[in-house]
Structure 1
Amino acid sequence: MISNKTSFDWLPLALVPALAALALPAIGSPSSWLTLTVAGLAMGMIIFIIASGLTLVFGLMDVLNFGHGVFIALGAFVATSVFVFLGGWAASDNVWLNLAAIFCAMVVAMAVAGAIGWAFERVLVRPVYGQHLKQILVTMGGMIIGEELIKVIWGPAQIALPLPTALRGAFIFGDAAIEKYRVVAVVIGAAVLIAMLFTLNRTKLGLLIRAGVQDREMVESLGYRIRRLFVGVFVAGSALAGLGGVLWGLYQQNVIPQMGAQVNVLIFIVIIIG
């Protein structure tokens, strides 16, 4: 019998405040330390969101998806279209309208990236399950095709993705200046982390996914369709990449079709080291 409660390794999370505390003497100034710590957390959370989608696909499905970057770029470009449609909300001085615009952009980007991810898995990934070399070649080709389609739809030029009006600038605490958007990125990243941990460790869906990884035949003998669960994992991973693309685009305040491929290199380094 597989328990629905699993022990979680809290050491990596504990290292974050420990390393931040160790950096204080090296930096010297508490205000500079606070500014740099929040900036580092924001960047780390954005990278975590993007990498978590690929980690789900590789860790639970054993699929080397080198096409992950196309969902990052897709999410960012979808966000530009949503912001154009909701231009009044993004340009408003009302912080709640600004947050609503970002929320709508994230939801639409995740939905589009997830839908394209479903097609990507069905057409390109499913025929090469268990064949890592072919997975690399096929998914890399899929990313190239995806980038070209993005150029066809949105054009090859760089597109501005400015922050909503009320999220520009910084909060001032004494001598410390903390950018408003970075605080939002930290909150969103923390929410995604908590949701992932809860889903994988405290729900029946997470139990079935983990059980399917350990013993697929046993779970299928109980009447569950592991293939459908794994397709759902791939869709979720693609949606998370789309969400990360929105946050990354807002962080850079511009998007280009090649941004996914550029971030892909960083993400694979993070996953390998992690």
Structure 2
Amino acid sequence: MSETDTSTTDRTDTGDAQTAALGSTGLTKRFGGIVAVDDVDLAVPEGELRAIIGPNGAGKTTLFNVLTHALEPTDGTVYLHGEEITDLPQEQRPHRGLARSFQSNQLFNELSVLENVRVVVQTIESGPFSFDLLGEGRSQHREQALHILDSVGLTDKREVTAKNLSHGDQRRLGIAMALATDPSVLLLDEPTSGLGTNETGLVTDLIESVHQDLGLTLLLIEHDMDIVLSISDRVTVLDQGRVLATGTPDEVRGDEEVQEAYLGGMREEL
């Protein structure tokens, strides 16, 4: 790598994890002798859209799992808006403002689109044992759920059963359900994976809208480099569980070490 590249592309996050919207220091996850996340320092400032990229097996989804406590870290510390949350249980993190959508849609498949979102709103506001889907609880939080559906473009499909949605609309519903927790930090795990060109464009537009209109801090795992380079404020590259580089899209695109480790033959496309 040239001197110019060295000066413009960080090898670690230069921000302060303890004052970032979401941060980590020395975050590590081992599975026996396999180190899936290896001493990751992360500092994502308030309002940033940060893409997390890397080859298959780089540890991207495992990093998300550790940040959200779906997996307990082997070592290291996680911070949310300056507060250490390393040991905070997964189910409590949405109440602190940390939400996530999944690559495989986590939906209530037999419920309507509206009910999927309303149930999440009611759970966050009234607790997991407040469900009364056949009685008075059915009308509670409906207005808020409708507002969220409008923000993701699913109002006209509010009565459709979730399992009958197109793949792209299911992804948008997954994002709507994450937004129903009223997050300040939102993690999106490959939201355009498996989508056609038109649906990819719609979901990408939604991500930009959520970022700009709601002012959320976003972390995005994404394989589509056109999307990464066009909408991200900064990009973190993982390789074998470690942070290889962090920088702006242009800095990462021009980084020879990143090209060798990840982009390879895609250089000419970038």
Give the TM bin, normalised by the shorter chain: under 0.3
| Structure number with larger C-alpha Rg | 1
More strand by share: 2
Give the alignment's TM-score, normalised by structure 1: 0.24
Greater relative contact order, per chain length (Cα 8 Å cut-off, separation 6+)? 1
Give the alignment's TM-score, normalised by structure 2: 0.24
